Amino acid sequence: MSVAENQRQIFLQLVAALQPHWHTDRGLPERLQRLLARDRRFGSRDRRLYRELVYTVLRFRPWIEPLIESDPEEAVRMTAWLAADTRDTRAFRQAWLTGWPDCPPSLADKARHLGLAERDLLPDWMHEECPAAFTENELECLHRRAPLWLRLQTDTPDAVWAEFAGHDWAYEPSSVLSGAVRLPAEAGAAATNSYFSGAFEVQDLGSQLVLAAHDIRPGEHWLDACAGAGGKSLQLARMVGANGHITATDPRIEALAELKTRAHRAGLTNLTATPKFPDANYDGVLIDAPCSGTGTWRRNPHLKWCTTPESLRQQAERQFEILQAHAPAVRPGGRLIYATCSLNRTENEAVISRFLTLHPEFSAVPPIRNFGFTATPAGLTIMPARHDTDGFFTSCLQRA
């Protein structure tokens, strides 16, 4: 059996093992990782190949899935054609694309060549939740690999640039936010000396824009109430400076342990991580709420197929409860910042509207920076295409 034929069989076996879980498992990447880890024949390059092929199926599932049963070999060829051309996929693509034209860069041209529709790649319910996602630019962005974005934690990055150059990585500072840097998706930035010395953190530009949109001042004390592993906590700590302080809370002990490691690596001493919600009044409270993750679909394409209108409603109820629980921690005149990595009205504008109706002591405050987007009275939606980011929503509410 040739190498290409063996890879075809393994790929189809992986797809068959994952298919029953597409509609239910938000942890599908971990399931795939376990499947790959079981076979000791797979080296790191093999794992990257099969991961990219499976992710391609998930991105373009409505186009590819009908062929998996009716014509598996054609499904393999279409997957190879649509997959990113990387060092790990190149040999596979060359083996299976004999006679196929080069894959055009634009999604619209891909659809025309295949005689398929771009809008079929998103769930029907998304039309009502986020019509903007179906514009040509947004569809294009949601169906290509996400780049790697970094947030510098040093004011003298020359050593960082030198290390990137040594790896032959093309880096590009953001044109809209100082300190944000773009790298190719395949760059192994988290394995560099600069990363381990705390010179930068991996953080999507969209995530960085959420806080940069608001008036966060040096010397302030903030509560990050859904801190997780602390990407925004670390950014907040730099924004408030040495005279300010961040209290980061999360019920997951393992997430807080990771946050403490990252804060130590960054040399931050103005951040406290605790599983308990402190009883205090803060200049600001950040609610980076658990959400559906629809803004991260290009990074997590499996979420397209296990998210439903009902799951959105459940998330929105949870988000509203989190807002209610933490609003009293905002001092008079202080601010409550709400954020999600969702593009859905149900989790965003509707949650804010409901909260403001029940809490007249809070009022929406416009962002101080829009980054080219149009804010609504409820907040600011960061769509992916404009700055090549994940999608986010953020709203700032000020207490009287």
Catalytic residues: 341
Give CA–CA dist 133/24, Å, rounded: 23
> Hey, what long-range contacts does 56-60 have (CB within 8 A, 24 or more apart)?
56/82, 56/83, 56/84, 57/15, 58/22, 58/28, 58/301, 58/302, 58/304, 58/305, 59/121, 59/143, 59/298, 59/301, 60/121, 60/143
